[in-house]
Chain A
Amino acid sequence: MADTESDLLRSSLDLLILKALTWGPMHGYGISEWIEGATQAVLLLEEGTLYPALHRLERRGWITAEWGVSDNNRKAKFYKLSTAGRAQFRAQAPVWHKHASAIAFALRRTSADLA
C-alpha cells in the first residue's frame, strides 16, 4: 500500500514540478512554495522529498539546472523546463486529468450496478 501511495505521489509530484516550471525558471524553494500554495499543502508534507524528484527529472533530461542568484541575492540552483520536459508535461497532463476524473467518478458511485 505504501508503495502504491509513494508511486502515486511521485508521479503526481513530477507532474506538479513540470507544471510549476511552465511559469518560468524557479529554484527548489520557489517550487515547493508554489506546490504548497497550489495544493493547499496536501501533497508536499516534507519539503525535502521535492529534491530527489528534481534531480531525477534533471537526469531524465526533462528539466535543466543552472546556478544563479535569487531575489534576495543568494546563490541558488534554478531549474528550467527543457523542450523534452515541456512535451512530457503536455502529454502527461491530459492523461492525469482523465485518470483522476475516472477515479473520482468511480469513488463517488453509490451502487454496484453498471447502468
Chain B
Amino acid sequence: MSLGPGWRRAFRLPFTRPRTIERAVDDEFAFHLAMREETLRRQGMPPESARAAAVSRFGDPAAVRDECITIDQQYAREVRIMEWMESIWSDARYALRTMRRAPVFTAVAIVTLALGIGATSAMFSLVDGILLRPLPFPEPQRLFWFRQSYPEKGLADWTLSQENAAMYRDRATDFSAFAAFTSRGVTLGGERPERLTGELTTGQFFKVLGVSPMLGRAYTDEEDAPHKNSVAVLSYGFWQTHFGGDRRVLGHTIDIDGSPMTIIGVMPADFAFPRSDIQLWIPLGLDPSRRFGWFLSGIARLKPGVSVEHAHRQTAAIFREWARQAPGLLPPTTVPERTGLTTLITPLRERLTRDVERPLLILQAAVVLILLIAVANVATLQSSRAAFRSREIALRNVLGATSGRVARQLLTESISLALIGAALGGSIAALAVRAFTHSDAVSLPRVDEVGVDGRVFMFTLGVAVFAGLLFGLAPVLHTMGSRLSGDLAAGQRETSHRSIRRLNGALIIAQITLSVTLLISAGLVLKSFRRLLHTDLGFEPSGATAMSLPLPRQKYMNNSSAVPFMIAILDELRSIPDIRATALTSMVPFSGDVNSDGYLIEGHAPPSATGSETQVITMSVTPGYFHTMDIRLARGRDFTSADRAGTLPVTIVDEALARRYWPDGDAVGKRMRLTGDTTWLTIIGVAASVRDEDAAAEPRPHMYAPMAQAPWSRPLLVMRTAGDPAAALAATRRVIHRLEPDVPLDNVRPLSDYLGRALATRRLTEILLGSFAALAMTLAAVGIYGVMSLYVANRTREFGIRMAVGAEPRAVMRLVMREGTALAVAGIVIGVVGATFATRWLGSLLYDVSAHDPLVFVSLPLVLLAVAAASCYVPARRAATSDPLVALRAD
C-alpha cells in the first residue's frame, strides 16, 4: 500500500517560524564569539579584554544579524512555497494513482461531472451572451425602446407612424438622439436582380447607437427626407461579398428598387442592429405629414443625468398632445390623460430579450439542478469509498499525517476529479454551443454574441472547484468523524458505515427530490408544447410554400398595371400540374408582418365606446387564397375575378369578427368600413378564424379584401404543391422570369417554417428541458444503483449471518428493496411538494395545462419510482444470492 504524501510532514525541519530563525542566528554567532574568545585567551590575552576583542574582530554583530535573518526568512518562504507546490503536486499524483486504482468509480464520476458541468457551462454561455453581457454599444444602459400604448383600443404595443417619429425626434429633449426604423426586403437591380434585407431608418439611427461606419460616413437628418433619401450604408458582410472589400466603393451607385443609391459608408463587421441579417441601411425619407401607417420601431439615447421617469413623462405628454389633435382617435369628450394612452420607454436590452429571459432562466435553473444531482451522485460514491478507505486513512494518521492534511488530500482528489470533469464538460459545452449557435433552427436574440470565452471558462472553473469542494466534503466529514487508529482494528467498521449510510440516504433523497422537480416541470412544459402543436390554427401549414414577389415599384406603381400582371402569373401557375392551388396575399401567418386598422360596422356604435378590441387585421388576397391555405369558408363565397376595381367593394370577414356582431344571424350582406377610409365594404363571406400571430393566444378578428380592390405592392405568393415542391418552384421561376425578368423570386419558405420560427423558443425550451429531465433521471438512477450496491456490499456479512441462521433469500431481498424504495418514496414526496412551488415559476411557458396537472404530477413520480425500484433490484438480488460462507469470511 502506498503511504501517500501525508507522512512527509513528520520529518519536516522546524525551520520556518520567525522565532526559530532568530534563535538559530543568535546561537550561531554566540558559538563563533565564544570560540574566538577562547582562542584569544589561549594565546594569552586577559579574559576581560578577550571578549571585547572577539566582538571587535567580528565587526558589527547587529547589522550582520539582521542581514542573516532577512536571508533566512526569504529562504524559509521559498522553501514553504516549494514544499506547498510539491505537496499539491504529490497530492495530485496520489489522487491520479487512486483514480487509476478505481477506474470504474473514476469513469462514472468524471462522466457524471462532465455532463453536469458541461450542461451548466453551455447554458451559462447562452445566459451570459444573451442576458448578462451589455449590448455591444457605448453606454448601452442609456438606450431605450419606444412604444405607444392605448390599452382601451387593444393596442398594448403600438408601433410608431412617421408623424409620431418626427414628433419624438423634434420634441423629446430628454434624449440626445432618436431614431425610428423598419426592416424591408429590397431589390438590388442588375443583370440578375437580387433580394436584400434592408433597414430603413431615420437620420439619427447611428448616432443613437453610438456606432460610426468603419469606412465613409453615416447619413444625416437632411438626407432622411422624402426624395432626398438616395444614399446607403452597407454592412461589412455585404461589402465583402458584393464589393470584395474594396475601399473605393464609396461614391459608387447601386440600383435599389429601381432608384439609384450612392454608397456613403460601410459599417464595422460586428455591427448587427436590429439583426445580423441586415445587408444595408437606407434613410427612410421621413415624411412628418404621414399620420397613418404604424410600422416603425423607435429607439433613443437618454441624455446623461436625466431620469427615466422624467423622460417617460415627457414622451407621454408629447404623445397625448398628438392624440388630442389626431382626428377620430379619441371620442370627442375624452381627455387623453384619463385614458391609458401613453408612450412607454423600455431599456433596449430588456426589450430585445424579453421573450427569452424566462425560458433561459428556467433552463439555467434546470441545469443547476442537474449539476447538484451530479454532485450528489459523486458525493455518495466518494463517501461510500471513504468507508472502504478508512483503514488507509487511519494508517496515514498513525504515520503522522494530521487529519487536516488527510482532509486536504481527499479534497485534492475531489477537485482533481472535478477539474477533469470540467475539462471534458467544457469541451462538450463548447461543441454544443457552437452547434447550437450555428444551427438555423435557433432564432434567439443576440445569439451571434454567444460563445465560449474567458468568462465562460472562468465560470466553468469556478463551478468545478465549487462542485469538487461540495462532493469532497462528504468523505472529509467522514474522516474527521472517525478518529485516529480506531479503524485500524478490523471489524470495527460497522459504526462508521452506519454514518455513511445515513449520509448516502440523505443524498439519495436529495437527488430524487431534485429529479422529481425537474421531471414534473419538464413534463408540464412538454405537455403544453404538444397541446400547442395540435391547436387548430384555422389553416393548414404543411404542404404549402410561400415566397415574396416584389413588383418593381416604378413599373407597377398603380393598380391598372399590377393587377393584370398578378392575374397573368396566377393563371400561368395554375396550369402547372404540380401546383394544386396558388394565390397572392399581403401577409402569411406567423410572418410577424401584421397590418391592423380600426373599423366601423354599419348600424353599430363605433367599437371604441365599448372598450372592447377595436382593431381588425386587414389583408389583401386574390381569389383562391382560402382554398390554397385550406381556410374553411363558413358562409358566403370567395372572391372572384369579377371583384375588381370599379365593381362593388367587397370583403370577407372571419368568424371572430362575425360572431362578435352577428352571433345568431348572418354577416353576409352587411356593410363595414375601415376608420381611415370612407368606402363601405359589403361582406360577401365568412371565413374560419385564423391564429396567425401567436399559436397560444385567442385569434384576433380579420377582414380580407380582394387584391384587385386593395392592391399591395409587395405581395406574397402562396402555393400548395403535390409532393416535393422543388419541381413546382422551378416551374414557377420559369413562368415569372418569362413574364417579368426584373422580379426576383425571393424568400422561398415552407409555411410551416414561419410557424416553426414563431415557436422556436418554445420548441427549444421543450427540447432542452426534456433532455435535461432525461439526464436528471439517468443520473438519479445511477446514483440509486451505486448507493444500493455499496449498501449491499457493506452488509454482506450481516446478510450472510441472516441466511446462515435460516432467513429466506427472498426475505433478504425484500429487506433491501424495502430500504431502497423507502428512500425513493421519501425523495418523491418531497420532490412533488417542491415541484408544486417550482412550477408556479413556469407561468407563461404553460399553455392549456394546469400548473398542477394531475396526470403529470402522478405519472412522472411513478415512473421515477419504477426506475428507483429497478436500480435496487440488481443489488437486492446479489444480496439474496450471496453465499453465507463466503459472506462470513468476507472482511
Interface residues of A (CB under 8 A from B): 27-29, 32, 45-49, 51-52, 55-56, 58-59, 70, 72, 74-77
Q: Is the CB of A74 within 8 A of B31?
A: yes
With the chains together, A45 CA to B29 CA distance in Å? Answer: 17
Listed residue (A29, A48, A51, A56) with the most chain B CB atoms within 10 angstroms of its CB: A48
With the chains together, A72 CA to B35 CA distance in Å? Answer: 9
A residues in contact with B38, CB < 8 Å: 72
> Known interface pairs A47-B36, A48-B59, A48-B61. Does A77 touch B67 (Cβ–Cβ under 8 Å)?
no
With the chains together, A107 CA to B471 CA distance in Å? Answer: 74
A residues in contact with B888, CB < 8 Å: none
Known: A59-B75, A72-B38. 9 other contacts (CB 8 A): A29-B36, A45-B59, A49-B59, A51-B25, A52-B64, A52-B67, A55-B68, A56-B71, A74-B34
Supply 25 A–B pairs (Cβ within 8 Å), ascending by A.
A28-B28, A28-B31, A28-B32, A29-B36, A46-B57, A46-B58, A47-B57, A47-B58, A47-B59, A48-B61, A49-B64, A51-B32, A52-B67, A55-B67, A55-B68, A55-B75, A56-B71, A59-B74, A59-B75, A74-B34, A74-B35, A75-B27, A76-B31, A77-B27, A77-B28
A residues in contact with B60, CB < 8 Å: 46, 48
Q: Is the CB of A29 within 8 A of B59?
A: no
> Known interface pairs A46-B58, A48-B59, A49-B59. Does A55 touch B32 (Cβ–Cβ under 8 Å)?
no
Interface residues of B (CB under 8 A from A): 24-25, 27-29, 31-32, 34-36, 38, 57-61, 63-64, 67-68, 71-72, 74-75, 78
With the chains together, A48 CA to B67 CA distance in Å? Answer: 11
Chain B, residue nearest A45 (CB): B59
B residues in contact with A48, CB < 8 Å: 29, 58-61, 63-64
With the chains together, A28 CA to B24 CA distance in Å? Answer: 13
A2 to nearest B CB, angstroms? 16
With the chains together, A47 CA to B57 CA distance in Å? Answer: 6
| Contact pick for A27, options B31, B57, B74, CB 8 Å | B31
B residues in contact with A45, CB < 8 Å: 59
With the chains together, A59 CA to B67 CA distance in Å? Answer: 13
Listed residue (B28, B34, B38, B74) with the most chain A CB atoms within 10 angstroms of its CB: B28
A50 to nearest B CB, angstroms? 9
Q: Is the CB of A58 within 8 A of B75?
A: yes
> Known interface pairs A51-B64, A52-B67, A55-B68. Does A70 touch B59 (Cβ–Cβ under 8 Å)?
no
With the chains together, A46 CA to B56 CA distance in Å? Answer: 8
Chain A, residue nearest B34 (CB): A74
Q: Is the CB of A77 within 8 A of B75?
A: no
Q: Is the CB of A52 within 8 A of B68?
A: yes
Give how many A-B residue pairs fall within 8 Å (CB-CB). Answer: 65
B349 to nearest A CB, angstroms? 57
With the chains together, A76 CA to B57 CA distance in Å? Answer: 19
Chain A, residue nearest B29 (CB): A51
> Known interface pairs A46-B59, A52-B71, A55-B68. Does A32 touch B31 (Cβ–Cβ under 8 Å)?
no
Chain B, residue nearest A27 (CB): B31
> Known interface pairs A46-B58, A46-B59, A75-B27. Does A29 touch B32 (Cβ–Cβ under 8 Å)?
yes
B66 to nearest A CB, angstroms? 9
With the chains together, A84 CA to B68 CA distance in Å? Answer: 22
B residues in contact with A55, CB < 8 Å: 67-68, 71-72, 75
A28 to nearest B CB, angstroms? 5
A residues in contact with B64, CB < 8 Å: 48-49, 51-52
With the chains together, A70 CA to B29 CA distance in Å? Answer: 14
With the chains together, A46 CA to B68 CA distance in Å? Answer: 15
A residues in contact with B36, CB < 8 Å: 29, 47
| Contact pick for A77, options B31, B34, B74, CB 8 Å | B31
Chain B, residue nearest A30 (CB): B35
Listed residue (B24, B31, B38, B63) with the most chain A CB atoms within 10 angstroms of its CB: B31
Q: Is the CB of A32 within 8 A of B68?
A: no
With the chains together, A77 CA to B25 CA distance in Å? Answer: 9
B75 to nearest A CB, angstroms? 4
Chain A, residue nearest B55 (CB): A48
With the chains together, A58 CA to B28 CA distance in Å? Answer: 14
B residues in contact with A46, CB < 8 Å: 57-60
Chain A, residue nearest B60 (CB): A48
With the chains together, A27 CA to B57 CA distance in Å? Answer: 17
Chain A, residue nearest B58 (CB): A48
Chain B, residue nearest A36 (CB): B57
With the chains together, A77 CA to B63 CA distance in Å? Answer: 20
Q: Is the CB of B68 within 8 A of A51?
A: yes
With the chains together, A107 CA to B28 CA distance in Å? Answer: 40
B residues in contact with A59, CB < 8 Å: 71-72, 74-75, 78
A residues in contact with B61, CB < 8 Å: 48
Chain A, residue nearest B15 (CB): A65
Chain B, residue nearest A49 (CB): B59
B872 to nearest A CB, angstroms? 60
B residues in contact with A27, CB < 8 Å: 31
Listed residue (A32, A52, A70, A75) with the most chain B CB atoms within 10 angstroms of its CB: A52
B residues in contact with A49, CB < 8 Å: 59, 64
Chain A, residue nearest B54 (CB): A47
With the chains together, A58 CA to B76 CA distance in Å? Answer: 11
B residues in contact with A74, CB < 8 Å: 31, 34-35
B787 to nearest A CB, angstroms? 51
Q: Is the CB of B27 within 8 A of A29?
A: no
With the chains together, A52 CA to B72 CA distance in Å? Answer: 9
A43 to nearest B CB, angstroms? 14
Nearest 7 interchain pairs by C-beta? A46-B59, A48-B59, A48-B64, A59-B75, A55-B71, A29-B35, A52-B67
B residues in contact with A29, CB < 8 Å: 31-32, 35-36
B residues in contact with A28, CB < 8 Å: 28, 31-32
A93 to nearest B CB, angstroms? 24
Listed residue (A46, A55, A75, A77) with the most chain B CB atoms within 10 angstroms of its CB: A55
A26 to nearest B CB, angstroms? 12
B726 to nearest A CB, angstroms? 78
With the chains together, A74 CA to B27 CA distance in Å? Answer: 11
With the chains together, A18 CA to B72 CA distance in Å? Answer: 19
B residues in contact with A51, CB < 8 Å: 25, 28-29, 32, 64, 67-68
A residues in contact with B31, CB < 8 Å: 27-29, 70, 74-77
| Contact pick for B32, options A32, A52, A72, CB 8 Å | A32
B484 to nearest A CB, angstroms? 31
With the chains together, A70 CA to B32 CA distance in Å? Answer: 11
With the chains together, A44 CA to B74 CA distance in Å? Answer: 26
A74 to nearest B CB, angstroms? 6
Listed residue (B29, B61, B67) with the most chain A CB atoms within 10 angstroms of its CB: B67
With the chains together, A48 CA to B56 CA distance in Å? Answer: 10
Chain B, residue nearest A60 (CB): B75
With the chains together, A28 CA to B64 CA distance in Å? Answer: 14
A residues in contact with B71, CB < 8 Å: 52, 55-56, 59
Chain B, residue nearest A52 (CB): B67
With the chains together, A58 CA to B686 CA distance in Å? Answer: 101
B476 to nearest A CB, angstroms? 36
A residues in contact with B27, CB < 8 Å: 75, 77
With the chains together, A45 CA to B59 CA distance in Å? Answer: 8
With the chains together, A29 CA to B29 CA distance in Å? Answer: 9
Chain A, residue nearest B24 (CB): A77
A70 to nearest B CB, angstroms? 7
B33 to nearest A CB, angstroms? 9
Listed residue (A29, A70, A72) with the most chain B CB atoms within 10 angstroms of its CB: A29
Listed residue (B35, B64, B67) with the most chain A CB atoms within 10 angstroms of its CB: B35
With the chains together, A9 CA to B676 CA distance in Å? Answer: 104
A42 to nearest B CB, angstroms? 15
B residues in contact with A47, CB < 8 Å: 32, 36, 57-59
With the chains together, A74 CA to B28 CA distance in Å? Answer: 11
With the chains together, A72 CA to B39 CA distance in Å? Answer: 12
Chain A, residue nearest B63 (CB): A48
With the chains together, A72 CA to B42 CA distance in Å? Answer: 14
B693 to nearest A CB, angstroms? 78
A residues in contact with B32, CB < 8 Å: 28-29, 32, 47, 51
Chain A, residue nearest B13 (CB): A66
